């Protein structure tokens, strides 16, 4: 399984989401966000994106850390979102 993680510099949530994905046996492709990449991502998924990390799994936009946590842990999620 492969996940693409869009990250920023010195981003603790980015580190956390990468660890969560690795713990669930995902291979990670990390892409550092810049203006052009962010614009392309927003256009491709028709989303307004203001924060990192942003995670794509199997070409499906998942979202940030909390959305990935819910996907991985379901009802066991600490945030229960």
Q: What is the dihedral of CA 3, 21, 49, 31, to 10 degrees?
A: -50
Instruction: Kindly report each contact of residues 36-41 with a partner whose C-beta sits within 8 Å and lies 24 or more positions away, as own/partner.
Output: 37/6, 38/6, 41/6
Residue 78 has pLDDT above 80, yes or no: no
- Report pLDDT for 77: 54
Task: Please say if the pLDDT value at position 7 is more than 90.
Answer: yes
How far CA 17 is from CA of 1, 6, 36, 46, in Å, comes to 15, 10, 23, 22
| CATH homologous superfamily, domain 2-76 | Glutaredoxin (3.40.30.10)
Give the pLDDT confidence score for residue 81 in this predicted structure.
44
pLDDT, position 74: 74
Domain ranges of the chain: 2-76
For residue range 10-69, list pLDDT tens digits in order: 999 999 999 999 999 999 999 999 888 989 999 999 999 999 999 999 999 999 999 999
- Look up the pTM and report it: 0.86
């Amino acid at each position: 399984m492969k996940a693409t993680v869009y990250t920023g510099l010195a981003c603790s949530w980015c580190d956390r989401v990468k660890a969560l994905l690795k713990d669930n046996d995902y291979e990670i492709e990390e892409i550092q966000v810049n203006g052009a990449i962010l614009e392309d991502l927003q256009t491709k998924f028709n989303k307004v994106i203001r924060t990192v990390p942003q995670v794509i799994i199997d070409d499906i936009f998942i979202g940030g850390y909390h959305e990935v946590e819910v996907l991985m842990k379901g009802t066991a999620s600490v945030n229960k979102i």
